[in-house]
Amino acid sequence: MKILVTGATGKLGTKVVESLLKTLPANQLAVSVRNPEKAEGLRARGVDVRQGDFDHPETLDTAFAGIDRLLIISADGDNDTRTRQHANAVQAAERAGVKFIAYTSIVNATESKNLFAPTHVATEAAILKTGIPYSFLRNNWYLENEIGSIQGVMSGAPWVTSAGNGKVGWSLQQDYAEAAAAVLLGSGHENTVYEFSGKPLTQEELVSELQTVLGKEISVQQVSDEKYAEIMKGLGLPDFVIPIVLGIQESIRNDSLDVVSDDLEKVLGRSATPIKEALAQLVDHVSKMN
């Protein structure tokens, strides 16, 4: 059996690969990366490093050849670009005769008003159309998305949000990565849709946990979208990013990320990392960055 992970030099992909290598012999693992030089370390450990770019479907024919189980990690562009790129990857998987496709989607993809949902709905549909057994790994928000806010409050800023009372089921990338590895390595995951989510929390509830970790009071400023955009511009975010960060606040506010599910625990065979412990890890990470 040969497993291949795309996006293996990205942040999530790196964690998936390391999780797989804890039990999978390196010669049964392949990665498809845009720049093989970035994966030299993996090659040195015996992983089959292949060049593949979703924008160049011909590279994917070689990259996916002889692969049994494939994890497509969603790419990082705008919705239209990603939808096209993912369709290229799915079609290449079909041409290569891949026997199982896992795909990193977003929680509640088909029902939610999440700004990122359209790409994931389209990619899930493309996978379904192939008839290849699949598992949709519908990840909730990465707790790592909050590193900028954590950094801010550690240097004395308030926690600023326009997300209102919307809840988010944050979890660490490490938990999502280990769950993806479990799906690739395990059996019985054919034709499954997993809603991977931590316990949903409001901004105030998350910040309350962070206060305990940091041992100091943090003020939460609930502001309008206009004020939020103004503050983000003031922090130096480029103009093209402003609609995206506003869309994220809106997606939280409209409850798109408020998903209660024990799928993550079930697939991991353990609890997700408790939120306090997860925040402590990120605080430690931020401290080391400074």
Ligand X SMILES: NC(=O)c1ccc[n+]([C@@H]2O[C@H](COP(=O)([O-])OP(=O)(O)OC[C@H]3O[C@@H](n4cnc5c(N)ncnc54)[C@H](OP(=O)(O)O)[C@@H]3O)[C@@H](O)[C@H]2O)c1
Residues that bind ligand X (CB under 6 A): 6-7, 9-13, 33-35, 53-55, 73-76, 85, 104, 139, 141-142, 145
**CB of 103 or CB of 134, closer to ligand X:** 103
As a whole number of Å, the CA-based R_g of the chain is 19
| Cα–Cα distance, 189 to 264 (Å, whole number) | 13
Residue 42 CB, nearest approach to ligand X (Å)? 12
Q: Which residue's beta carbon is nearest to the bound ligand X?
A: 10
**CB of 51 or CB of 192, closer to ligand X:** 51
Residue 145 CB, nearest approach to ligand X (Å)? 5
**CB of 104 or CB of 174, closer to ligand X:** 104
Residue 263 CB, nearest approach to ligand X (Å)? 15
Residue 143 CB, nearest approach to ligand X (Å)? 9
Secondary structure, 3-state, 242-265: HHHHHHHHHHHHCCCCCCCCCHHH
Closest CA to 65 of 87, 88, 96, 95: 96
**CB of 234 or CB of 240, closer to ligand X:** 240
**CB of 58 or CB of 219, closer to ligand X:** 58
Residue 108 CB, nearest approach to ligand X (Å)? 12
Q: Specify the length of the chain in residues.
A: 290
**CB of 76 or CB of 262, closer to ligand X:** 76
| Cα–Cα distance, 48 to 116 (Å, whole number) | 32
Residue 288 CB, nearest approach to ligand X (Å)? 18
